[in-house]
Amino acid sequence: MHFDAELDARGLNCPLPILRTKKKLSELTSGQVLKIDATDPSAVKDFQMFAKQTGHQLLAHSDAGKEFTFFLRKR
């Protein structure tokens, strides 16, 4: 999937992946896509709620064992 920026949140626990995502998204323009790599097991639920609450679009996420990848489009 095409993305405009990337964030490595591996090794960080809640709420740091979300906080770093918010900061990185503030650097992007509307419609750009951010790829996030994370290892926190609660990240799947956290990013789903984050997208719902903020209006950003969770385009896709994958679970590769202990690593998760998310693609968010900025609103």
Return the active site residues: 14
DSSP structure class, residue 4: S
DSSP string, 11-65: T--TTHHHHHHHHHHHTSPTT-EEEEEE--TTHHHHHHHHHHHH--EEEEEEEET
